[in-house]
Each structure stands twice: as structure tokens, then as C-alpha cells.
Amino acid sequence: MDVVEAARAAEEAGRSIIHMEVGQPGTGAPKGATEAVARALSAPLGYTTTLGLPELRRGIAQLYARWYGVELDPARVIVTNGSSGAFVLSFTALFDAGARVGMGLPGYPSYRQILKALDLVPVGIETRAENRYQPVPADLPVLDGLIVASPGNPSGTMLDRAALAALIAAQPRGFVSDEIYHGLHYGARAVSALEISDEVHVVNSFSKYFSMTGWRVGWMVVPEDHIRPVERLAQNLFICAPHVAQVAALAALDCIDELEANRATYAQNRALMLEGLPKAGFTRIAPPDGAFYIYADVSDLTQDSRAFAAEILAEAGVAVTPGLDFDPGRGGRTLRFSYARATADIAEGLRRLQGFMGARS
């Protein structure tokens, strides 16, 4: 967010900034979703049931049949205030104060902060480039729970079925699978933890594949005996997800052609990045399987990624994200590049990075 603010200030000062720092699509909600909202505004939009609109929960269950071949009882689907709301509910339902919950580093920083706020103990697990920045069972200490993300943020790398199954077997209690980038893949589709076990919590969102970040609507899938405890927590913490966002989300499930066109744009952007970043001197990268990020080891260029990102913004007009939030110990030597924006922006950003690095050398 500091990078976003610095980029905004530069733009207000009249500079042209290419945004490779943002973790959100450059596209808006699908047309069918906004049209559904326009129709819905003629009637009152009030509280929904805490678990979400029944038709939306059924639609999400059907998505699991379509994407993964999983027959899912809609009763196990809980619509949430974005994936962030789902993490709060999941961590609160699964763990008592003081529980040790593992996560791979680099990883999404809000896991750590939410766990700390709930008086839980985040345990960072340093992953390795040879494992494509994903944890493996041999890395796991004694834990009360584990959260994994596939595709991951910031790496975009994925766990195949065998790797995910091995982690679930190694940590069968308190397993949370962050699947918010599912749908954004560039080879084989991502594997859902629900293909392997019903005794896990799965978190997903309409923010990424469905291009609905600002609508703040997500979902979680929980074991049958966890439905009522999570419902009671949600009633007290959130009441329900926004009604209008649920209307949009229901319609978005059917906007397949538009969403797949977005994914094709990301695939084109990914190809440009994998070709252009090494030409600029960023050669130590793990090619992403999904999401819209590339994580680069820049230890040959800097030991201070925050200062390096500030230099790139000031000199090249390209906003990138230092790795410190994703990995407090090693993140001073890494950068995250996002390719979620328009293809023309990505091409221009790469041109600027190549010019900047050429002048720097």
C-alpha cells in the first residue's frame, strides 16, 4: 500500500506511472454482473441470511462440479465479506488462542496479521526456489494448523495434486487452503483441496478471476460439522456479506466468455513478462503457473528491495512491490511484479525497466 500511495502521488504530480505493484485485475466486474445489479436496485437490498443467498451458494457449489468434478453440498458453502472475512472466520473457528499456524514464506502478509490479531502464533516456513516457493512436508515443524495458497501470492506457483495431498496428510488438523487465484492458470487447472479431503477449510473470492475486488464478496467451504459454529461467528462479526455484491456475484458465475477473455489477456501478459524481465536483468524468477505475479530474486542487484523499488518508481516510472511484506527475513532481496493490467501497459513497463536497468549498469 505504501508503493500504491507513492505511485498515486507521482501521478498527481503529472507523471506517467506503469502499475506493476497492484494485486488486482485491471478489468472491472463482468457486464452481466453490473446489469444484474442495475435490475436489482429497484427493490430494497437488505440483510441476507448470514450464510449467503441460497441461489449464490448453489451456484458456487455448481462451480466446483464444473471446475473440479466435485459434488459439493451447497450447505457447506458460506458467503463472506471477501476472502479476508473468510480467513477471520476460519482461523477463529479452527484455533484456540496460542495455537501455532504455519504458512509458507514468501506468502500473503495478511495471514500473519490476522493470526496475531486473534492471539494466534504465525509460524513462517521458509520455502525454497527449488520447491518453487511452496512448502513441502519435510519443512513443517509441529503445528496446530497450516495455510497454503496455490497459486501463491507473490509467486504464482501451484501445488499439483500429489504435493497438495502430501501436505494435507502431513497436517490433517486445521488445514486451510487459499484458492482465491483459482481460474487463473496457464497450463493445468489448479487442484482444489476439496478434491482430496472434506476435512479442510477452503477459501475463495470473486476478487481475482471474477474481477470484483471492490465488491468485497468471497466464500468458504467447511466440513459439515463446522457450518453452525462458523455461522454463529459470522452472525456476530459481519451479519452477512453485502446483498448487492452477492447479486453481482451470482450473475458473474455465468459470465464465462468475458472471464476467459480476461484470462487470455493475462496469459499474453505473462508471456511478455517471461521474455522481457530477463532482458531487463531480472533473471532469477520462478515462472508462475497461475495468478498474475512474478517473484524475482534480485539479490544480485540489491539487498534493499524497498529502496530499489523506490528507485525504479522514481527513475523509470514503474511501480513494483518489494518482497519485505511477503518474507520479512529474506524479502529485502526480492521484488514482486504484477501483470494484471492491460497488455499495452505491460509492454511499456518492460520497455521502461529495460531502459532503467541499462542506464543503471
Same domain, 299 and 222: no
H-type helices in 51-181, by residue range? 54-68, 82-94, 109-117, 161-170
Instruction: Decide which of 254, 269, 300 is a domain's last residue.
Output: 254
Which pLDDT score is estimated for 91?
A: 98
Residue given cell 511452496 in the structure block: 134
Which pLDDT score is estimated for 223?
A: 98
Which pLDDT score is estimated for 361?
A: 72
Instruction: Decide which of 193, 227, 254 is a domain's last residue.
Output: 254
- Residue-wise pLDDT tens digits, 19-33: 999 888 989 999 999
Which pLDDT score is estimated for 275?
A: 97
Same domain, 217 and 142: yes
Which residues of the chain are modeled with pLDDT < 50? none
Which pLDDT score is estimated for 31?
A: 97
Widest distance between CA atoms in the chain: 62
Same domain, 139 and 231: yes
Instruction: Decide which of 228, 254, 280 is a domain's last residue.
Output: 254
Question: Of how many residues is the chain composed?
Answer: 361
Same domain, 202 and 321: no
Same domain, 170 and 54: yes
If we measure between CA atoms, which residue out of 361, 51, 25 comes closest to residue 233?
51
Which pLDDT score is estimated for 1?
A: 77
Range of the domain at 119: 31-254
Same domain, 78 and 206: yes
Rounded to whole angstroms, the Cα distance separating 138 from 324 reads: 25
Which pLDDT score is estimated for 268?
A: 97
CATH number of the domain residue 9 falls in: 3.90.1150.10
3-class state of residue 55 by DSSP:
helix
Same domain, 145 and 159: yes
Same domain, 185 and 275: no
Rounded to whole angstroms, the Cα distance separating 149 from 158 reads: 8
Which pLDDT score is estimated for 244?
A: 97
Same domain, 88 and 152: yes
